[in-house]
Structure 1
């Protein structure tokens, strides 16, 4: 997923105001070895497409989250929960570059903006000063962050889950590496056909999921929260 979603999609309860942790100013230290869950959060069509939900250019069905489905604010309460519960954002390069110019000025993204950010990329040279982030160069570094084995102080300045937003290529890599713990999914009653999908098509061992929460909304959107059985 890239670019902004419409403001109304991120209606949420009043955010409690976790402070943003600037680079070089650690707020507190999380002990070594404290594991963090990786949670993938996506809006997707029934056939698994996550491309251009907010109207980004270049995709035939861009804006499908609000163009093709009646708006029901209850369906998006999950986004408020995410901002309260997550400890940091974990993004791929494309999503980071799309979010960085836009999210810092958006009040409805206050919770996301206050979190530490990590970008997984082998090609990104520098983070964007408008939306600073720590660059991770490999899945090994992601695993170290997840398992509390990372050796940099900044990686110890937060606790709580790592939230993956959009970032289709990263999501598939995390799936293939077995690093995902939970999925927060809003499934839209649409078949979009062609488009970027979130699920890997690599031959993998069967991954078993446990449904922890489910809700159906008036517009046909379904919330499904799955835990990956390890």
Structure 2
């Protein structure tokens, strides 16, 4: 049985996933997650994911953004020793951070497909919208764990491709809404 590849992320109601915590990507509305009133139960999904995660996957830009902070972050301590995979054509071994568990560089979508066929549990993709679109276009994403925030941003990186393609059907696995307007939507890709 293939390993499950799960995209997890914060999304605006109009599908934007970039700059949820700040203006790192130059989005004028960056930090939109932090501007939503904090309700602890709205983030319970993140704790559930930690229990299920056997490895992490990033695109190059998300790796470069997370690698300086996550290894020493108490909020991300549970991920520290897990295997990490970075899909990049340009990242070198010398650029990898130390003290963050094993990190493997993958060079192609085909490498991701091969990884999915190995033994092990779910691999979670954090951030990495461009990587997620690329892997979804290759039919490699198995599930979406989304926290949808009650904001309309109008511009920014979207998670899903806007290219004309065959319809994909999703099955709702779990959902909840919270007093701050955030909605949890967990979808399985139907094959």
Deviation of 1:114 (Å): 2.4
Q: Which of these residues, 45, 48, 54, is aligned with residue 87 of structure 1?
A: 54
Whether 1:35 and 2:36 are equivalent positions in the alignment is no
Distance between the aligned counterparts of 2:17 and 2:79, measured in 1? 20
Deviation of 1:107 (Å): 0.9
Q: What TM-score do you get using the length of structure 1 for normalisation?
A: 0.79
Q: Which of these residues, 108, 114, 121, is aligned with residue 144 of structure 1?
A: 114
Distance between the aligned counterparts of 1:180 and 1:222, measured in 2? 21
Aligned to 2:29: 61
Distance between the aligned counterparts of 1:81 and 1:116, measured in 2? 18
Distance between the aligned counterparts of 1:229 and 1:39, measured in 2? 13
Q: Highest CA radius of gyration, 1 or 2?
A: 1
Any conservation in 1 of the 2:23–2:29 contact (CA below 8 Å)?
Answer: no
Q: Which of these residues, 177, 181, 187, is aligned with residue 220 of structure 1?
A: 181
Any conservation in 2 of the 1:176–1:202 contact (CA below 8 Å)?
Answer: no
> Secondary structure of the equivalent of 2:146?
strand
**1:61-110 CA distance string (max 9 Å, x none):** 1110011x111010001111111101100110000011000001111101
Q: What TM-score do you get using the length of structure 2 for normalisation?
A: 0.94
Aligned to 1:203: 164
> Secondary structure of the equivalent of 1:109?
helix
Q: CA RMSD in A?
A: 1.2
Any conservation in 1 of the 2:58–2:86 contact (CA below 8 Å)?
Answer: yes
Distance between the aligned counterparts of 1:212 and 1:94, measured in 2? 30
Q: Which of these residues, 100, 104, 119, is aligned with residue 71 of structure 2?
A: 104
> Secondary structure of the equivalent of 2:62?
helix
Whether 1:191 and 2:160 are equivalent positions in the alignment is no
> Secondary structure of the equivalent of 1:124?
coil
* Structure 2, unaligned runs of 5 or more: none
Q: Which of these residues, 116, 129, 133, is aligned with residue 103 of structure 2?
A: 133
Whether 1:162 and 2:123 are equivalent positions in the alignment is yes
Distance between the aligned counterparts of 1:125 and 1:201, measured in 2? 31
Deviation of 1:49 (Å): 0.5
Deviation of 1:125 (Å): 1.7
Distance between the aligned counterparts of 2:140 and 2:104, measured in 1? 19
Any conservation in 2 of the 1:46–1:188 contact (CA below 8 Å)?
Answer: yes
Structure 1 runs (4+) greater than 6 angstroms displaced: none
Judging by fraction of residues, say which structure has more strand: 2
> Secondary structure of the equivalent of 2:165?
coil
